[in-house]
Amino acid sequence: MSIEDVAGPFGVPVPDREAGPQLRAEELSLFDSTAVAVSSVAPAYSLASTMSSLAAVAGVGIFAPSLILVSFVPVIFIALAYFHLNRRDPDCGASYSWVSKLTTPYLGWYNGWVQVALSTIFCVIAPLLAGSYTLQFFNSIGWISDSTAGNLGLICIVGAVWLAFVTFVCVWGIRWTTNFQWVLVIIEYVAVVGFSLWGIIKVIVSHPKGSTGFHFSWFNPFNLGGMSALAGGIVLGVFFFWGWDTAVNLNEESKNASVNPGRAGIISMFLLLVVFLLNIVAAQMLLPQSVIQAQGTNILFYFANHAVGSWAGYVMIFAVLSSTVGTTQTTLLPAARITYSMSRDKVFPKVFGAIQGKTRTPAVGTLILSFICLFGILLTSVSQSGYNFVESAMVTNIGVLIGFYYGVTGITCAWAYRRVAFRDVKFFFTGVLMPLLSGIVLLFVGGKVFWNQWTIPGDNQALSILITMLLGIPLVIIARLETKGNFFRTKSQAYTSIE
């Protein structure tokens, strides 16, 4: 073992690492990583779960396309921050690991906790939507009645089955996981892009009742009304794009690990921007705003019905279902890799660091996280009000938590390269200034949305955010007291070169 292995490349203590089996290296190509990144964002799921909420935000409405563009700006620069940080240190813990080494291990551990917590919350919500869409699909083809399709207990049971299925695929191996993602990506992209183009052509050719022409004003961010509307909309927009960083959490299983995962995240962002704008524009041209707001999570089914016909509605249900299943899987994946990295650093229970010999996956950790999510689904099934709360409030709350860890990562990138910030003008812009400003913006809007929710009398939607954030404080203290290695003695590092 070299001196650098002990002290790190900067001559300061670095986290202890457990020796033992590793993840399966050199498995994913750039195309595989891009498919995982796109599938993680799950455009069909994001549109189905968020479009109506976005349209309903005061001051946004028909200007939703401009809000998507505004949201894209800070997130694309966070993606560039991930690219630059991954180039120097391809660790499957990604943001957790970088923040720990480059700022303070306490903030790094806390940041890791936030990511794992929000991934777990999401893996309770998404299977429930998958269960709902499964039953809707069966209902649409006449297999079950309306009352059966809306049965809460049955929705939770079907959602639990989907969670068990994706957990099995995750445990079985990264190649099986990626191949499954390829299938899901093709299904949802063909459906969403194809029906969106069809809807736009229909409006242009036949001008159906209630439709409207295309307006460039939809893309003007200056039409967005007020800071509260902008903040609330950006949080929803951040949720739209969330998930591309899964490709970076799979860096240790990727070919050209220091470059391909970060590049895949950036490529996926531009692909997703086109898909989101295309579908939202198509929906706004074909349907009145009041109709979009009223449809809730059924908006894509309703849109496909009106754009193409009843058969297209069935296809769209299946596309949203496949997208929801895919994003559940690709949310469980990074959570298992982050906890694996934390366990490897001896700051998380050792069981999460176990690698299954044949499949080379963190199987035990994945199963534990899945069982926690299953418990959350069972709790949700107890009452309709609990289910309604999860369905209505959690998208915004998850957006706030995403804004936190994206924001911290962007600021960390700028801090890490502070000594070489002015050596190259292009790098100063993409690697320092814009990640810094984007990080500050995301932290600010997340905080403003939380405060707006918290100050509404009788509204407890912000409670889950507060519990998640506050719970991390005693947990990081416990981790510090239980850790016998040098992780929490790691000193802040600074890169002395761009490459």
Averaging pLDDT over each range in 135-144, 310-319, 360-369, 388-397, which range is the top one?
Answer: 360-369
Closest CA to 376 of 334, 341, 332: 332
Residue 19 has pLDDT above 80, yes or no: no
For 118-132, write each residue's pLDDT tens digit: 999 999 989 988 998
- Alpha carbon 71 to chain centroid distance? 14
Whole-angstrom Cα distance, residue 122 to residue 374? 12
Most confident among 90-99, 231-240, 285-294 (mean pLDDT): 90-99
Alpha helices in 64-214 (DSSP H): 64-88, 95-102, 105-140, 146-149, 152-172, 174-206
DSSP single-letter state for residue 382: T
Task: Render pLDDT for 375-412 as a digit per residue (tens, 0 to 9).
Answer: 999 888 777 666 666 665 577 788 899 999 999 999 99
What is the average pLDDT across 475-484? 93
**Each residue's pLDDT tens digit, 225-239:** 667 767 777 887 888
Cα separation values, 139 from 125, 426, 467, Å:
21, 55, 38
Tell me how far apart the alpha carbons of residues 494 and 413 are, in angstroms, rounded to a whole number. Answer: 10
CATH class for the region spanning 31-480 = mainly alpha
Mean pLDDT of 341-368: 94
b/e code 254-283 from CB counts within 10 Å (16+ = b): beebebbbbbbbbbbbebbbebbbbbbbbb
- Identify whether the C-beta of residue 18 lies closer than 8 Å to the C-beta of residue 229: no
Token code pair at residue 395: 């998208």
Q: Cα-Cα-Cα-Cα dihedral of 113, 261, 489, 354, to 10°?
A: 70
Tokens matching residue 443: 């932290």
Percent of the residues in the chain that have a pLDDT greater than 70, as a whole number: 91
**pLDDT recorded at residue 214:** 93
> Which pLDDT belongs to residue 342?
97
Q: Which residues pair with 254 in a beta bridge?
A: 28
Does residue 247 carry a pLDDT above 80? yes
> What is residue 254's DSSP assignment?
B
Work out the average pLDDT over 456-483.
Answer: 87
- Contact yes or no for 130/166 (Cβ under 8 A): no
Largest alpha-carbon pair distance within the chain?
A: 73
Q: What is the pLDDT of residue 5?
A: 36
Q: What is the mean pLDDT of residues 75-80?
A: 96
What's the token pair of residue 53?
Answer: 């909420």
Q: What is the spatial distance between Cα 100 and Cα 106, in angstroms, rounded to a whole number? A: 7
CB distance 494 to 421 below 8 Å: no
As to burial, measured by CB atoms within 10 angstroms (0-12 exposed, 13-18 middle, 19+ buried), residue 396 is buried
What is residue 69's three-state secondary structure?
helix
pLDDT digits (tens, 9 = 90+) for 164-175: 999 999 999 898
Which whole-number Å values give the CA distances from 100 to 18, 87, 299, 493, in the listed order? Answer: 17, 16, 41, 10
Assigned token pair, 442: 């995301």
- Which has the higher per-residue pLDDT, 146 or 55? 146
**What pLDDT does residue 227 have?**
73
Average pLDDT of the segment spanning 420-437: 95
User: Which carries the bigger pLDDT value, residue 311 or residue 462?
Assistant: 311
Distance of CA 32 to the CA centre of its chain: 18
Instruction: Write the DSSP assignment of 420-465 as a string of letters.
Output: GTTS-HHHIIIIIIHHHHHHHHHHHHHHHHHHHHHTSTT--TTHHH
What is the distance between the alpha carbons of residues 91 and 329, in angstroms, rounded to a whole number? 20
With cut-offs at 50, 70 and 90, classify the pLDDT of residue 444. very high
Q: Which two tokens stand for residue 214?
A: 């295309």
CA distance 26 to 312: 40
CA dihedral 384, 56, 405, 499 (to 10 degrees): 140
Residue 106 confidence class, pLDDT cut points 50, 70, 90:
very high
Contact in structure between 277 and 196 (CB atoms under 8 Å): no
pTM of the model: 0.91
pLDDT at 9 over 90: no
CA distances from 485 to 113, 343, 348, 489, 490 (A): 19, 12, 12, 9, 10
d(CA 154, CA 163): 14
Q: What mean pLDDT do residues 277-296 have?
A: 92
**Residue 397 CA: distances (Å) to CA of 37, 230, 232, 454:** 22, 16, 11, 12
